[in-house]
A and B are shown apart, each in its own frame.
Chain A
Amino acid sequence: MRERRSTLHHRFLSTSALHLLLVALSLTMVLPFLWMVLTSLKPVAEVGLENWLPRKPKWDNYAEVFRVIPFARFYWNSLFVAAWVTFLTVFTSSLAAFSFARLRWPGRDKVFLLYLSTTMLPGLVTMLPNYQIMIKLGLVDTFAGLILPAGFTALGTFLLRQFMLTIPSSLDEAAEMDGASKWRIYWDIILPLSRPGVIALTIFTFIGNYHSFFWPLVMLKSVHRYTLPIGLLFFDTSRGQSTHLIMAAVTMSVLPMIVLFVVLQKYLVKGIQLGAIKG
């Protein structure tokens, strides 16, 4: 009896210590964000003071951001571009993955290997000539020029193929017996069954393009077409002294991400762990 109590006691102490350690680590992660939010609420005069807290929160800073730069436009552009890229990627990847995973055709595996090997190339290798191609197509400083080069990836196909391979082949064989065309099999059977994979790919592609920086940076010229990262950079270089406003803008671009993460983290965590282990 006494022994049992002492192990309980011991466990309580060690678990408490663990929690305290984790809280300390969490604080390091959270403090920059805290400073960000608090600074975004300060009036100019209080920026840079040692006290993190604004004497009186100035919510107007947030409205001011929208007055100083077309921040709503940046939001819209980011969502618009990321949504199109995500749609293109998911749709074309699922078709290609179906071809690689569920159809049998001569040379399939060789093509797949060649296709996959391009993922080893640094993205910068393709960006330089792609820029030249965009000039030739007249797509510099257009949304199409942002969306198209990002919309056809080998990685997405690879992810979905891996997922489709886990679906038992008896399903499509049965459907084929019933006289279903390959398109029907893709559209009615495989695609719905690939839901978790499709969701993971959707999230990754969307997030990746929401953060996308290099390509929009070289492609975009007009302020009204800027996406959030480019808009933030522009804001920082043109109004860098207004730390409070910059922090309000940063808060507004980071916040949706945090919310999205908390909502979707179940899929995300699984997707990362699955994708990487299989890869």
Chain B
Amino acid sequence: MKIVFVGCLILLTAASVLTHLLEPDLRSDAPVLYWVTDANPARSEQVATFHRWLRSNGHPRMQLRLDTANNAVTKKIIQGVSGVGGDVMDSFSGGALRQLHAVGLLADVTASARALGFDPGHTYAPVASEITIADCQYAFPCNVYTALFWVNKATFAKHGLPGPPRRWDFETFERVGKQFVAAANPSGKRPTVFFAAGLDRDIMRRSLGLSVFNETLTRCTLDDPRNVRALALIHKWTCADRILPTASDVASFATETGYGGSNLQLFNSGNYAMFLSGRYALIQLRQFGALDLAVVEHPYGEFPNTRVDTRCAAIYAGSKHRELARYFLAYLASEEYNLHIVEDADALPPNPIYTRTEAFLRPAKYPNEWGCHEVFADAVQTIGIGRSHSPFVLPSTAERIERETFDGFISGLYPAEQAARLAADRINEEIQRALKENPRLRPRYDQLVVRQRQIEQLRAEGRRVPLAWIANPFHRRYYEFKNWGEK
């Protein structure tokens, strides 16, 4: 027994030494940085290019490693506050970036962005509002995306119809859609061919002049009649006109085609004439061979628009290698990286000048895609607007509530008016809860509420509103469109 005890102690000590020697960071002579991102296979090549880029530009040596196990926002936050966040962290939306910032996890890179050439001027204008928070820059985009409709021209041709126009309003969408499903489905039977896989509620609402939040981002405005109208339209198109599939239509596809009855496959098979996605859909579409493709915008009510999102990389404020990590952000602005994104079709390159290259517009290997790429680049630059994030409610919470109330509406639990009111009430409740939990937010909130009242008064009197008062990027653009604002 005694010998066993002492023996165990010796063995365990030896094992500890061994385990320590197995630490991967010990076996690198350069500083090791971790990049927390998704498990996309393209990431390893991006890391390899980064190391090459460092060498050829004479930048300091470092080892960048992938960490794909901790990509959830909740994990990033908890690990960040615990002092073990990754040196570089990806955010999959400006909303996630704001969550990390709210906890204080992000390093301000405004100064080094100017020095190393990755300030917001090197990317698209609508993205600037995503990567800057309260006038400080915290990230640089890995890529930029906006959802437009991919059109399978062969599907339209098969049913004897011309393809849709590039820009269209709701009425045109409905007319063309009805024509299409009538031509594509035998009458009297359950339809199996649909005009589009789905719509984007946010873009629809925005095209009617409504955002999730008001001008100062202090209140959720989903209880507006324009939201009710958008919901009713989706319901009509899905359940009455049958130009969009219902949930049970989608489910029966899944059983007929076996696993993965996803949008892409149904688009390829002609069951969906169009589906909404970014340029990155090409990564998979290319595997189906040379489809006859076109890209058109989301239909609009009165204000054509599209929403611009970005996956962006930020630097952890607690990183031991904060200085070195900045080179990674500089790399994201470099020609090497941008051309890699152009070629891979992983959405749009962060720097818009590369969307004017021949490699982007007319990739030699894929002539069937010619004419599609520039639609994305143009849309982002002409009608693209960033997301509307309220600093008083977590973006993920607001999105979850909006989705849940929509699901309840579309599955028939309650009418559109109630869904709209419910969404607004619950989000506003969350805003009040956040103010209670975090009293620091209160002074700014009260200030903005006063500002909001001023805006509403000016509008009621039919006078112009200073655009600088408007925090919501959507409203700023909409006010310009309506000529309600002044510089």
* Contact between A and B in the complex (any CB pair below 8 Å): yes
Query: In whole angstroms, what is the CA distance A187 to B1 when docked?
Result: 9
B19, B67, B70, B82: which contacts A140 (Cβ < 8 A)? Answer: B82
Interface stretch of the complex, out of B2-10, B116-124, B201-209: B2-10
- The reply on B441 being an interface residue by CB < 8 A is no
Q: Is the CB of A221 within 8 A of B5?
A: no
- The reply on B24 being an interface residue by CB < 8 A is yes
Q: Is the CB of B8 within 8 A of A87?
A: yes
- The reply on B83 being an interface residue by CB < 8 A is yes
Residues 37-78 of chain A: 1 if any B CB is under 8 Å from the residue's CB, otherwise 0? 000000000000000000000000000000000000100110
Q: Is the CB of B5 within 8 A of A234?
A: no
Instruction: Determine the chain A residues whose CB is within 8 A of the CB of B8 once the complex forms.
Output: 83, 87
Instruction: Determine the chain A residues whose CB is within 8 A of the CB of B83 once the complex forms.
Output: 135, 138, 140
| Smallest beta-carbon distance B1→chain A, Å | 5
Instruction: Determine the chain B residues whose CB is within 8 A of the CB of A223 once the complex forms.
Output: 67, 69
- The reply on A129 being an interface residue by CB < 8 A is no
List chain A positions with a Cβ less than 8 A from chain B. Answer: 73, 76-77, 80, 83-84, 87, 91, 131, 134-135, 138, 140-141, 143, 187-188, 191-192, 195, 198, 218, 221-224, 234, 238
Residues 53-96 of chain B: 1 if any A CB is under 8 Å from the residue's CB, otherwise 0? 00000000000000111100001001101111000000000000
Can you list 9 A-B pairs, Cβ within 8 angstroms, ordered by A?
A80-B19, A134-B82, A141-B84, A192-B2, A195-B1, A221-B75, A224-B22, A234-B69, A238-B39
Total A-B residue contacts, Cβ distance less than 8 Å? 55
Query: In whole angstroms, what is the CA distance A84 to B5 when docked?
Result: 12
Instruction: Determine the chain A residues whose CB is within 8 A of the CB of B136 once the complex forms.
Output: none
List chain B positions with a Cβ less than 8 A from chain A. Answer: 1-2, 5, 8-9, 12, 15-16, 19, 22-24, 39, 67-70, 75, 78-79, 81-84
A140, A187, A238: which contacts B84 (Cβ < 8 A)? Answer: A140
Instruction: Determine the chain A residues whose CB is within 8 A of the CB of B19 once the complex forms.
Output: 76-77, 80, 143
Q: Is the CB of B70 within 8 A of A191?
A: no
Q: Is the CB of B9 within 8 A of A87?
A: yes
Give me the 8 closest cross-chain CB pairs, A-B, nearest first: A140-B82, A192-B1, A141-B84, A135-B82, A223-B69, A221-B84, A140-B84, A221-B79
Known contacts being A87-B12, A198-B1, is A135 close to B39, with CB within 8 Å?
A: no
Query: In whole angstroms, what is the CA distance A143 to B16 when docked?
Result: 9
| Smallest beta-carbon distance A226→chain B, Å | 8
Query: In whole angstroms, what is the CA distance A187 to B67 when docked?
Result: 48
Q: Is the CB of A83 within 8 A of B69?
A: no
Q: Is the CB of A238 within 8 A of B82?
A: no
Instruction: Determine the chain B residues whose CB is within 8 A of the CB of A222 once the complex forms.
Output: 67
Instruction: Determine the chain B residues whose CB is within 8 A of the CB of A138 once the complex forms.
Output: 83
| Smallest beta-carbon distance A279→chain B, Å | 24
Query: In whole angstroms, what is the CA distance A195 to B1 when docked?
Result: 7
CB closest residue in chain A, given B71: A238
Instruction: Determine the chain A residues whose CB is within 8 A of the CB of B24 once the complex forms.
Output: 224
CB closest residue in chain B, given A135: B82
Instruction: Determine the chain A residues whose CB is within 8 A of the CB of B67 once the complex forms.
Output: 222-223
Q: Is the CB of B15 within 8 A of A238?
A: no
Q: Is the CB of B1 within 8 A of A83?
A: no
Query: In whole angstroms, what is the CA distance A77 to B68 when docked?
Result: 20
Q: Is the CB of B5 within 8 A of A91?
A: yes
| Smallest beta-carbon distance B62→chain A, Å | 18
Query: In whole angstroms, what is the CA distance A135 to B81 when docked?
Result: 8
Known contacts being A135-B82, A140-B83, is A238 close to B2, with CB within 8 Å?
A: no
Q: Is the CB of A187 within 8 A of B2?
A: yes
Q: Is the CB of A191 within 8 A of B2?
A: yes
Known contacts being A87-B9, A140-B82, A238-B68, is A80 close to B1, with CB within 8 Å?
A: no
Instruction: Determine the chain B residues whose CB is within 8 A of the CB of A91 once the complex forms.
Output: 5
CB closest residue in chain A, given B85: A221
| Smallest beta-carbon distance B421→chain A, Å | 37
Q: Is the CB of B12 within 8 A of A238?
A: no
* Residue of B8, B82, B83 with most chain A CB atoms under a 10 A cut-off: B82
CB closest residue in chain A, given B70: A221
Query: In whole angstroms, what is the CA distance A142 to B70 when docked?
Result: 16
Instruction: Determine the chain B residues whose CB is within 8 A of the CB of A140 once the complex forms.
Output: 79, 82-84
Instruction: Determine the chain A residues whose CB is within 8 A of the CB of B22 once the complex forms.
Output: 73, 224
Instruction: Determine the chain B residues whose CB is within 8 A of the CB of A76 once the complex forms.
Output: 19
Query: In whole angstroms, what is the CA distance A80 to B11 when docked?
Result: 10
Instruction: Determine the chain B residues whose CB is within 8 A of the CB of A198 once the complex forms.
Output: 1
Query: In whole angstroms, what is the CA distance A234 to B19 when docked?
Result: 21
| Smallest beta-carbon distance A211→chain B, Å | 20
Query: In whole angstroms, what is the CA distance A178 to B143 when docked?
Result: 81
* Residue of A84, A134, A192 with most chain B CB atoms under a 10 A cut-off: A84
Instruction: Determine the chain B residues whose CB is within 8 A of the CB of A188 once the complex forms.
Output: 2
| Smallest beta-carbon distance B71→chain A, Å | 10
Known contacts being A135-B81, A138-B83, A234-B69, is A83 close to B12, with CB within 8 Å?
A: yes
| Smallest beta-carbon distance A161→chain B, Å | 18
Query: In whole angstroms, what is the CA distance A87 to B4 when docked?
Result: 11
| Smallest beta-carbon distance B428→chain A, Å | 30
| Smallest beta-carbon distance A169→chain B, Å | 20
Query: In whole angstroms, what is the CA distance A76 to B22 when docked?
Result: 11
| Smallest beta-carbon distance A60→chain B, Å | 21
